[in-house]
Amino acid sequence: MNRCANEDFPLEDLMNSKTLWEKVNSLRQPFGIVMLNKHVVDMTLNWLCNTATMEGVHERILFFTLDQEAADALLKFYPTLRIFTLKAKCLQGSFKPLDATYMSFFLLRTNLIRALLLMKKSFWMLQADTFWRQNLFANKEYELNDLQINVALDQQGYSEISQTRKRQMNGANFLVIGQHASTLELFDQLHWYQTHFYVTDPDAMKIVCAKKGFHCNFIDHSIISGWEWIYGSQSKPPQLIQMDGETSGGKVEMLKQYHLWFLDDNNQCIPTTVSYAKNLAAKNQVPKFYSNSKLKQKLLLSIGDLLNNIPLIGRLYRIYGGIPSLYLQIF
């Protein structure tokens, strides 16, 4: 495994960064973290356009960029953004799902989470390939007062999927609570799995959350759902729709077909397209398109659902299925 994120940018370097401390301390908790390199600047600008009129959203985000090009491109359009840049040469290329660079990016994400927890901070880890119908920071359910949980995890799928697929972490948009010491222990254990197995963080998180002593809450699908919502009845539109599932590229083109792309050819924001997209979701009229990636994802999800429902084996698969499934893809 390419461990550049762990070896070249260890936890101690993040903890000792005065600039990172200053940026983080200037943000209201729970703030949001969006990580990116130059290859997803357009996706990030699309999200910034999507959330431009939502009160306080841009002001509560720290953009963690992996190259200077990404930082400069964001500041060109939004000069007041808070940005911290860690020049990570090994993470400046484009990612392919489950390749070594992709896995190392999420290892860096875990190290960043651990550093922020050592600072006693609570925050949302966010991905820009998410359509916001409403302001997540305005959600009363996850205000910090008296939250007796370690993490609030986004679930795979949407409300109409089978019960056996629910309470499985998607890993795109989730809340980390820094006021409990056990939260740091949880992510220390997650880091151990990521550095000892070729496993995604959502699959490793299943194992950690199954242990006693940790409280892993799962965010209701009415707040955050995945792309599968579009291919269901489209009833009860969620506040956020996470648009992953494009494993072979072409995500921008798919978002355009969904009418969830809000930029012109010069990456300028078109506010009317945001209003139009929200209206489509409210009326259950988001277009359905089946790319090769979507068809593959639906097949794999169906196979996983079948395994989940096998008596006795199903429970073990729901917890430990990620590790063997990854090895099957590699070998």
* pLDDT at 34 (0 to 100): 99
Q: Where are the alpha helices (DSSP H) in the chain?
A: 4-7, 11-15, 18-25, 41-50, 68-77, 100-118, 181-196, 201-209, 251-257, 271-282, 292-308, 313-320, 322-330
Please check whether residue 53 lies inside any domain of the structure: yes
Q: Give the pLDDT mean for 218-228.
A: 96
Residue 328 has pLDDT above 50, yes or no: no
Report how far residue 154's alpha carbon sits from residue 169's, in angstroms, rounded to the nearest whole number: 6
Q: Which domain holds residue 145?
A: 4-218
Q: Give the pLDDT mean for 41-60.
A: 98
Please check whether residue 274 lies inside any domain of the structure: no
Q: Are 62 and 24 in contact (CB under 8 A)?
A: yes
Residue 98 banded pLDDT, cuts 50, 70, 90? low
Please check whether residue 55 lies inside any domain of the structure: yes
What percent of the chain is modeled with pLDDT above 90?
A: 63
Report how far residue 59's alpha carbon sits from residue 81's, in angstroms, rounded to the nearest whole number: 7
- Domain count of the chain? 1
Please check whether residue 52 lies inside any domain of the structure: yes
| Stretch among 95-109, 123-137, 278-292 having the lowest mean pLDDT | 95-109
Please check whether residue 87 lies inside any domain of the structure: yes
Sheet of 130-132: strands edge to edge?
Answer: 130-132, 240-242, 224-226
Instruction: Tell me whether residue 149 is exposed, middle or buried, using C-beta atoms within 10 angstroms of its C-beta: 0 to 12, 13 to 18, 19 or more.
Output: middle
Higher pLDDT, 144 or 237: 237
* pLDDT at 79 (0 to 100): 98
What's the predicted TM-score (pTM) here? 0.89
Look up the CATH number of the domain holding residue 153. 3.90.550.10
* pLDDT at 325 (0 to 100): 44
What percent of the chain is modeled with pLDDT above 70?
A: 82
Find the distance separating the first CA and the last CA of the chain, reported in whole Å.
14
Residue 326 has pLDDT above 50, yes or no: no
Report how far residue 264's alpha carbon sits from residue 315's, in angstroms, rounded to the nearest whole number: 47
* pLDDT at 240 (0 to 100): 98
